[in-house]
Amino acid sequence: MSLLKVEKLSKEFGGVHAIEDLTFSVEAGHIHSIIGPNGAGKTTLFNLITGVYTPSSGRVLFQDRLVSGMKPYELAALGMSRTFQNLQIFFNMKAIENVMVGSHLHLDRRFLPSLLRLPSVIRKDRQCRESCAGLMEFVGLVKYLDADAASMPYGALKRLEIARALAAKPRILLLDEPAAGLNATESREIDEVIKRVAATGVTVVLVEHDMKMVMGISDHITALDYGRKLAEGTPAQVRANPEVVSAYLGAHA
Amino acid sequence: MTFKTARTGGLALLAIIIAAAPLGFSNSYFYDVAVNAMFNAIVCVGLNLLIGYAGQISLGHAGFFALGAYGSAILTTTYGLPPLAAMVLSAAAVGLLAFVVGRPILKLKGHYLAMATLGIGIIINIVLKTESKITGGPDGMSLDNFSVLGFSIVGDRMWYWTVGVLLVLTVWLALNLIDSPVGRALRAVHGSEVGAEVVGVDTSSYKVLVFVVSAVFASIVGSLFAHKNGFITPDIASFFHSVELVTMVVLGGMASTFGALIGAVILTLLPQLLAAVEQYEAMILGAIMMGTMIFMPKGLLPSLVASVKRLGGGR
């Protein structure tokens, strides 16, 4: 079953086609990677899917529901969550509070009970703190449980974003270059985290430049170039595609 | 854990200071200054939710303060409503106004938001000055004592205890809010709006919510201030009053409830202390402000807490 469908999607920025007539679908339970050279439109595609941008034309269907034009917070409520290539961490908060914001939709958000700190709010908050600590453990951040987000290293912040996105209990998780800027060891750890996330039944859409990682963990790959689909298929099929090789890996024609 | 002790410990300390301070008060002037300091503190604790926690700005909060004051004056004198009802009605009206103007203007950011809120304050000030049939114009309005069910608050001492209790209550509410799902969402708006949106935080609604809450705080204090003073003029809605309120928050420490409180108290007391060197008052005040911002850019309380932690060799 296709969890996410992108149909004839286009996005123009002042005459430049960042995404052009793009169609593909993501199967439930898959790790689906989007690859392509710099400027191919991968991040734009993520921004279109998650409601940060509105498409110029075309549509996005999530669980067979038309979602293009919806706001990111509405999509979050439907079960879509993401991370960012350039981190969007709440540096003014503690690490665990970052993750707790992730469970926003699953908490009592009424104003008066919060203002009066009713026992029910305290109880749910304590449970939330525990489950968020569990998520931090899941992504390998146990030693930062009491840390301020501002004091954490880059690699840890990448994982903190994943924990925050998971706290929203998504059906689909879009990861925008989770391994960018990480060393080989850290990349392998992220690799493990992604596999563990997928094993819990969450569908993962991945944008990544680390080909070793992409080829190793993906069930399906869509290759983009200049905003268009260049190729798609299993890692083996995409790797063997001559167009992908010349556009992306830079073969001498 | 540390947050919890900071909450209860801080609240207890505040209550003790308020209870013990009158031991050092030798005449009613001290009570009067203390009440004004606490009035400012309540407004600033509310304003800090908007500025310090949610990362927005308002240069128009004196306008909301003044609307509360004038609402109470008009409803009690012209329409003969009981003071409590007048205060609640005014606060509701100010909340509604803040909601209506907040929705469009909180889409703006930074300098643009500052300009828009500045505009609101100025408009309120002009309306209070020119609608003299209703507001008495530049001559101002006078009001009676504040009273609830026939029990009136008269004299500086009774005001001191009333406002003292209100301040503790306000700080308690603010601390509750900050450490709740709502408060975390507000802080997340400050941290990264798009980061908050993708996990389900409707950032524009939260910005409007905190704008309304801080405006209602200002309005309630405005009502009480009007009753205590017995007389108000449109000057309370002036741009300078708005700037003064923001300065208190920034000086004391943004995103610190007790910091905002301390900033309000210091900036209320300082002019009184500097009265001895009257002609240099503004200069010294300016120098203190500049020095604080250069050497303690995070504000007094957060900077002090950080240096104490450093000395203790925390991390």
- Tell me if B162 is assigned to some domain: yes
Residue B214 has pLDDT above 60, yes or no: yes
Query: Residue A11 and residue A187: Cα distance in Å, rounded?
Result: 31
Compute the residue count for chain A.
253
CB contact under 8 A, A73 and B181: no
Q: Which residues are CB-neighbours of B241 under 8 A, at least 6 positions away? A: B62, B65, B66, B235
Indicate yes or no: CB of B184 within 8 angstroms of CB of A92: no
Residue A114 is nearest to which of B176, B187, B315, comparing CB atoms?
B176
Kindly list the residues from chain B whose CB atom is less than 8 angstroms away from the CB atom of residue A50.
198
Instruction: Give the orientation angle of helix B257-273 with respect to helix B2-20, to 10 degrees.
Output: 30
Measured distance CA(B296)–CA(A42) in Å, rounded = 43
Residue A84 CA to residue A42 CA, distance in Å, equals 12
The two tokens of residue B296 are: 């303690």
Of the candidates B42, B182, B186, which has an alpha carbon nearest to the alpha carbon of residue B106? B186
Full domain range(s) for residue B199? 29-237
Residue that has been written with the tokens 């905003």 in this structure: A227
Q: Enter the pTM of the model.
A: 0.93
Q: What is the mean pLDDT of chain A?
A: 92
> Domain count of chain B?
1
Candidates B184, B193, B305, B309: best to mutate against A (most CBs of A within 10 A) is: B184
**Which residues 158-187 on chain A approach chain B with CB closer than 8 angstroms?**
161, 164-165, 167-168
What DSSP string runs through chain A?
Answer: -EEEEEEEEEEEETTEEEEEEEEEEEETT-EEEEE-STTSSHHHHHHHHTTSS--SEEEEEETTEE-TT--HHHHHHHTEEE--SS----TTSBHHHHHHHHTGGGS---HHHHHHT-HHHHHHHHHHHHHHHHHHHHTT-GGGTT-BGGGS-HHHHHHHHHHHHHHT--SEEEEESTTTT--HHHHHHHHHHHHHHHHTT-EEEEE-S-HHHHHHH-SEEEEEETTEEEEEESHHHHHH-HHHHHHHS----
Q: Residue B8: inside a domain, yes or no?
A: no
Q: Which two tokens stand for residue B53?
A: 């926690």
For residue A73, the tally of other CB atoms under 10 A from its CB is: 20
Question: Do the chains contact at B188 and A93, CB–CB below 8 Å?
Answer: yes
What is the C-alpha to C-alpha distance for residues A216 and A233, in angstroms, rounded to an integer? 14
Local confidence band at B287 (pLDDT 50, 70, 90 cut-offs): confident
Specify burial of residue B24 (Cβ count, 10 A radius: 0-12, 13-18, 19+).
exposed
End-to-end C-alpha distance for chain B, whole angstroms: 17
- The answer to whether position B20 is within a domain reads no
In chain B, what residues touch A77 (CB-CB under 8 Å)? 200
- The token duo for A71 is 């706001």
Residues of chain A with CATH 3.40.50.300: 2-79+170-248
Cβ-nearest to B190 among A92, A109, A128: A92
Mean per-residue pLDDT for A221-244? 90
Q: What is the pLDDT of residues B31-61, one digit of tens each?
A: 999 999 999 999 999 999 999 999 999 999 9
Closest listed residue to residue B46, CA positions, set B79, B8, B95: B95
Tens-digit pLDDT profile for residues B147-170: 888 788 888 999 999 999 999 999
Residue B304 CA, distance from chain mean position: 22
Q: How many CB atoms lie within 10 A of CB B273?
A: 11
B180·A115 Cβ contact <8 A: yes
N- to C-terminal Cα distance for chain A? 38
Report pLDDT for B166. 97
At residue A253, the pLDDT reads 43
| Homologous superfamily of domain range A2-79+170-248 | P-loop containing nucleotide triphosphate hydrolases (3.40.50.300)
Q: Of how many residues is chain B composed?
A: 315
ipTM above 0.85, yes or no: yes
Cβ-based contacts under 8 A for chains A and B: 113
Burial class from Cβ neighbours inside 10 Å (0-12, 13-18, 19+) for residue A200 reads exposed
Partner-chain contact A76 B198, CB within 8 Å: yes
A90/B197 touch (CB, cutoff 8 Å), yes or no: no
Chain B interface residues (partner A, CB cutoff 8 A):
55, 173, 176-177, 179-185, 187-188, 190-192, 194-203, 209, 255, 315
Beta-carbon contacts of residue B36 (< 8 Å; ≥ 6 apart): B268
Whether residue B293 lies inside any domain: the answer is no
- Alpha-carbon distance of A77 to A66, in angstroms, equals 14
Q: In this complex, do A101 and B190 lie within 8 Å of one another by their Cβ atoms?
A: no
- Percent share of chain A, pLDDT over 70: 98
* Among the listed residues A133, A127, A125, the one whose alpha carbon sits nearest the alpha carbon of residue A95: A133
Q: Give the number of C-alpha atoms closer than 13 A to the C-alpha of residue A175, restricted to the C-beta side.
A: 32
**pLDDT tens digit string along B111-149?**
999 999 999 999 999 999 999 999 999 999 999 999 888
Minimum mean pLDDT among B155-169, B193-207, B212-226, B287-301: which range?
B287-301
pLDDT of residue B315: 43
Which residues in chain A have Cβ-Cβ distances shorter than 8 Å to B196? 90, 101, 104
Decide which of B55 and A226 is more confident. B55
Q: Are A32 and A219 in contact (CB under 8 A)?
A: yes
How many Å apart are CA B159 and CA B166, to the nearest integer? Answer: 10
Report, as an integer, the average pLDDT of A188-207: 94
B187 with A93: Cβ contact below 8 A = yes
B201:A73 CB<8 A:
yes
